[in-house]
Amino acid sequence: MTWKYQAAIIGGGPAGLQAALTLGRMHVETVVFDDGRYRNASSSVMGNVLGWAGAEPAALRAAAHEELVAYPWVRRVPERVETAREDGSGLVLVTPSAQWSAERLLLASGVDDALLPIPGVRELWGDTVLPCPYCHGHEFAPGPIAVISDGGHAEHVGGLLRGLSSSVPVVAPADVLSVSRSATGVRIDLRDGGAIEAACAFIPPNARVRSGIADDLGIRSAPEGIEIDALGRTSRAGVWAAGDVAKRVDSRIPAAVVTAMASGLTAAADIAASVALVRDGRS
Ligand SMILES: Cc1cc2nc3c(=O)[nH]c(=O)nc-3n(C[C@H](O)[C@H](O)[C@H](O)COP(=O)(O)OP(=O)(O)OC[C@H]3O[C@@H](n4cnc5c(N)ncnc54)[C@H](O)[C@@H]3O)c2cc1C
């Protein structure tokens, strides 16, 4: 069976759900696909999201799902989009259960983190080994707060954290043997036999775009994100990108829940404008 929509969204994280809300409020027939590999899934507490201090990321998504029920134009499909292609009259998306036809597409499909290959990092990721000082640093002050990184990233993140803690040990990944949970939060065992005890440690997330669908559609993408303009438009007409999967104008802009939601809203507003142009014969 083929279902037809004015807009499809791939990704039901903060970017995709905010876009769905905006499109629902503009009565745009929208389908949202999501296979539930949320970037912050390993964190039990969300920080720096106004009004949601200390909440679980899943609580925000659950509230969004409940809110979207008021907009019958929005359908959520908990499935993975496997492929996408153009068929002359629009885009065809294939999921395990059906084929879906959409006039417009928003990619809000997030990124994967290529974590440092240090034993213990994966187990503590999102708990006491973290990517973003804006999201979790404050909760661990006054520290000590460690940084396992080098180069420009270590300088930037270390500088930020020295505003929260007077003790910010910085260690290069090559010098670290392993990390483990400890009474202080995290213990960093070093190759030279030493160890650092800290409340938490920050590492570079090394985010990688999930580009399968973008590649299917021949959309221009860099390792740090799909290229977009100020309205979220990609290099391909009719396809937008938002959230972590979209390249930020400056890498110092945090990849976070609020910035993902903001870009989801921006892209959805432009999608709604495009629907209006076509409806009124102005495009
Ligand atoms: C450990 C950790 C903790 C974090 N903590 C915070 C925090 O406290 N506060 C904060 O503001 N930010 C935090 N962040 C950042 C935040 O999680 C991201 O910026 C935010 O989730 C980005 O939202 P998104 O909608 O772009 O992507 P995501 O939330 O990752 O959602 C993308 C969704 O798209 C789905 N998807 C991908 N491809 C397909 C497909 N082909 N078909 C169907 N579905 C697909 C994925 O499965 C996923 O469900 C944290 C990040 C990490 C790594």
* Cα–Cα dist 188/236, whole Å: 46
Relative to the CA of 49, which ligand 1 atom is closest? Answer: 11
- Give percent of the chain above pLDDT 70: 99
DSSP-derived letter for residue 118 is -
For residue 221, the cross-strand partners are 226
pLDDT at 1 (0 to 100): 55
The single residue listed with the structure tokens 């499109």 is: 23
Both tokens assigned to 21: 């809300």
Q: Domain-by-domain residue ranges, the chain?
A: 2-112+206-279, 115-202
Q: Are residues 99 and 2 in contact, defined by beta-carbon separation less than 8 angstroms?
A: yes
Of all protein residues, the one whose alpha carbon is nearest to atom 31 of ligand 1 is 13
Indicate whether 119 pLDDT > 60.
Answer: yes
Look up the CATH number of domain 2-112+206-279: 3.50.50.60
| Cβ 169 vs Cβ 144: under 8 Å | yes
Q: Calculate how far, in angstroms, residue 174's C-alpha sits from the geometric centre of ligand 1.
A: 28
232 lines ligand 1 (CB under 6 A): no
CA dist., res. 179 & res. 164, Å (int): 22
Q: Does 2-112+206-279 match 115-202 in CATH topology?
A: yes
Largest CA distance in the chain: 71
Which atom belonging to ligand 1 lies closest to the Cα atom of 16?
A: 25
Distance 280 CA to ligand 1 centre (A): 36
Pairwise CA distance, residues 175 & 166, whole Å: 22
pLDDT at 277 over 70: yes
How many angstroms separate the alpha carbon of residue 11 from the centre of ligand 1? 9
Nearest CA to ligand 1 atom 29: 13
Q: Does the C-beta of 224 come closer than 6 Å to ligand 1?
A: no
Residue 202 Cβ inside 6 Å of ligand 1? The answer reads: no
Q: How far is the CA of 258 from the centre of ligand 1 (A)?
A: 11
Distance CA 179, CA 130 (A): 12
Q: How far apart are CA 93 and CA 102, in angstroms?
A: 8
CA nearest 132: which of 60, 50, 211, 46?
46
Say if ligand 1 is within 6 A of residue 81 CB: yes
Report pLDDT digits (tens) over 204-236: 988 988 768 999 899 988 888 999 999 999 999
Alpha carbon distance 190, 105 (integer Å): 47
Query: Does the beta carbon of 177 lie inside 6 Å of ligand 1?
Result: no
Q: Cα–Cα distance between 80 and 137 in angstroms, integer?
A: 33
List the Cα angle 200/156/231 in 5-degree steps: 105
Q: What's the CATH fold of domain 115-202? A: FAD/NAD(P)-binding domain (3.50.50)
* pLDDT tens-digit map of 143-163: 899 999 999 999 999 999 999
The answer to whether the CB of 33 is under 6 A from ligand 1 is yes
Tokens of 178: 């392993």
Q: Residue range 45-69: average pLDDT?
A: 96
